[in-house]
Amino acid sequence: MNICVVKMRPSVSRSIVSAAASIKRAPGDTQNKCQEVKPFLQIPGPVALPLIGSVWKYILPGPNRYDPERLHEVACQKYDEFGPLVRETLPDGSGLLSVFDPDDVQSFLLQTRIRPDRRSHLALQKYRLDRPHMYSSGGLLPSNGEDWLRLRRPSQAVFGRPDVVASRLPQVDQIVRDFISLLRALRTADLQVPDLLHRIKMMNMEVMLMVLFGERFGCVTERPSAQCSALMEAGGRSTRAIFKTDNGPLRLYRYVSTPLYRQLVDSQDYIYSVAKQKYEEAKSRKGSEEAPSGGGTTVLEGLMRAQQLGEREVMGLLCDALMAGVDTTSYALAFALYHLACNSGPQQRLADETHALMATSHGRVTEDVLRAAKYTRAALKESMRLIPISIGIGRINYSPILLRGYHIPAGTTIVSMNQHIGSNPLYFRDPEAFRPERFLEDSAELHHSHALLPFGQGSRMCIARSIARQAVHTTLLHMVNNFTLKWHGPKLGCKVRLINEPDAPLSLSFTDREVKASVSPQPAG
């Protein structure tokens, strides 16, 4: 496995101070041994320079430079040099705190749970706030406080509804079966599929469009539709622009229209145009007998019925889903396929589970199959332990908190290092090994509740996590039911482009497996 193996460190005293007069003890600060509160500046970390803070570590050349595209490796550097709590300084003078102990992760997430603010997608926020005729706020991704809460409550009620997600499972299952047929058609003589990651993204784009709008767009074909290709390109260009503008030291886009910001604008304009078209079509269907294919409520219909959401709010939510939902699901699936392809034992056990379950459902993935697919769920969880969607969870504390005896001033960006925690032998036995068994109910291994948080935590968890899990589990079941997977490339790692993505092409071969449960592919609907 291409992961950082964490060095064992001596145990560190876990005494946390009682509250100082100026700081109210927060619910997450559960340890109550009394000692003097230590100032924030005593937390170890790299030296800060005038004007740019600690950012010089990420931009200046040198043997110990922090690579912003290899933040999981940067986490190892920080931990080895400074320990389980690392302080940095951002260019605006505020603090950045990296947290490497799951006890401390639990503590700061509890202490910030009332107002789970975070710092991300800042250029996207500017784009939307500059267009009040299109959007009412920055949207779910960059917004904080009341603006975020006004969107989150009614939208969560839609994205989490069983009749929205589960009712689309037959269509999602059909999309995945069409994808299996497409892989067979695209295989070369060595049984590999050229540009496999792009094909996986196209499949997940089709899934997302089906759940959002209730219709197929032609993404799962040898030659995807122009609209699918343009949407995919717009989402990727948006993500790359947001990553670079969020992490730039000067954020010049706030004052002048930089090339990166124009890239974001052009991409977001296109995503908005597609969402707007579908919104208008849904509005025209209201009151008529015409409905999207497949039955059940679509996400768009659910959002339009929510009394707290107007057109501008709905448009922002649709654009968020189209931009953020496809890549996250695709990369999670890609890493899971990689880990299964490299580990024949777990792959065979998953195949045994898959054959048994699919034999009872005539080769289709149903709600009953998903509920019973325990090893499939464990395999995805284990893959996300090794390479999660992101390195961890970020929060900005609205008021001062206490952590490890240190006073953490308000406005500090606090980030959990869950990818590092997942590879640390203090928290996971044999952390380099891919062993889904560790997450089965009958496993003797116990894991900290905050060591693995692949979809976030608390009220700011990934809003589309049910859609993502359904898509990935369905695809894994069909993949292993139909193919024996084998990896032919070098060890696969990850690079950060807002989220973790594969750092090399997917060199997988797909050998037809003797399938015990199969159905003939149905025409796309």
Annotated binding site for heme: 462
CA distances from 3 to 50, 120, 333, 434, 446 (A): 34, 26, 18, 11, 22
The 8-class DSSP code of residue 460 comes to G
What single letter denotes the amino acid at residue 294? G
Separation of alpha carbons 342 and 506, rounded Å: 12
Smallest CA-to-CA distance from 377 within 433, 324, 455 is with 455
Distance CA 112, CA 27 (A): 9
CB contact at 8 A, 375 and 349: yes
Structure tokens at 90: 């951002």
Q: Residue by residue, what is the 3-state secondary structure of 332-356?
A: HHHHHHHHHHHCHHHHHHHHHHHHH
Q: Are strands 494-497 and 483-487 parallel, antiparallel or unpaired?
A: unpaired
Helical axes 311-342 vs 374-386, angle rounded to 10°: 90
Task: State phi, psi for 502 to the nearest 5 degrees.
Answer: -60, 140
Joined together, the tokens standing for residue 503 give: 């750092």
Strands 95-99 vs 413-416: parallel, antiparallel or unpaired: parallel
Alpha carbon distance 203, 178 (integer Å): 9
Two tokens, residue 399: 């008021």
CB 246 within 8 A of CB 238: no
**How far apart are the C-alpha atoms of 96 and 395, rounded to whole Å?**
10
Phi (first) and psi of residue 498, to 5 degrees: 80, -45
Strands 85-89 and 95-99: antiparallel
CA pair distance 325, 84, nearest whole angstrom:
32
d(CA 422, CA 339): 15
Query: What value, to the nearest 5°, has the Cα angle with vertex 203 and ends 358 and 233?
Result: 165
- Give the gyration radius of the chain's Cα atoms: 23
Q: Tell me the binding residues.
A: 462
Interacting residues of 95 by C-beta distance below 8 A, sequence separation 6+? 40, 87, 88, 89, 408, 409, 411, 412, 413
Q: Which residue has tokens 């496995």?
A: 1
Strand partners, 408: 401
What's the rounded Cα separation, in Å, for the pair 233 and 318?
A: 17
Token representation of residue 389? 């969607």
